[in-house]
Amino acid sequence: MSRLEKLQAANPQLKIYSVLDDEFLRYGHVIDIDTDEFSKLVLDHVALPEEGTNYVTDLEVIDKSEKAQEYNQTICGQMDEQWGLCWGFNDAMNALEWHTCNEFNIGVTDLVLLLAKRADLDKNNKLDADKVKAFYLPKDVMVEVYSDSLHYAPCEVDKNGFYCVVGLQRGTNFQPDPEKKMDKILGGTNKWLIFHDPTGEKESDCIIGENWKINPID
């Protein structure tokens, strides 16, 4: 039984697709490129936290690497991309965010992405959790997640945690200027964020229904 099959068996509450399935094409696409150098740099220089999830917008060991400059020229259309990292332990959706730019993810380890579409939001930025779909991203695979795809911190596949490289247009996810903040759900520069509402009573800017959790394997 493959790891995906084990993951699917452990999570009958939510259908888990692979990013290699056609179902993913609405949300992003797989990029056929060698990611071994990025993965090795991350694993050699970054330890897992004792608990919880960490995120840095631009991890110097990869952001300043020759491979990052190569990616900027090839897959990023010669844009100045920032290469950061999300890593740690997480098994739940909790929230979803979106940007005005696409996002590149590399699974340094196997992980699960929970995704929805901005078109699934109602006029009050309220999302039914039943619109969320789960995708297995195998390690060493890169995907480009489209800007209209809602996403958040990945979920771990096993109890050893996860590492996910995050590539975004430089300046995204920094602290916004509070004096210029016109949108209450602006959680960072170029980052709009809605949280799961456990009560189901909020009228706007939230996710209602199931706060999807992924049961790890192994």
Per-residue model confidence as pLDDT tens digits over 54-85? 999 999 999 999 999 999 999 999 989 999 99
Q: What is the pLDDT of residue 184?
A: 83
- CB 85, CB 55: distance < 8 Å: yes
Q: What is the pLDDT of residue 179?
A: 66
Please, what are the domains in the chain? 3-208 (2.60.120.10)
Q: What is the pLDDT of residue 218?
A: 78
Q: What is the pLDDT of residue 172?
A: 97
Mean pLDDT of the chain, nearest integer: 96
Q: What is the pLDDT of residue 180?
A: 64
* Reported confidence tier of residue 176, pLDDT bands at 50, 70, 90: confident
Concatenate the DSSP letters of all residues of 156-187 into one string: ESBTT-EEEEEEEETTTTSPP-GGG---TTEE
Task: Report pTM.
Answer: 0.96
Model confidence at 181: pLDDT above 90: no
Q: What is the pLDDT of residue 182?
A: 66
Three-state DSSP at 158 gives strand
Model confidence at 123: pLDDT above 70: yes
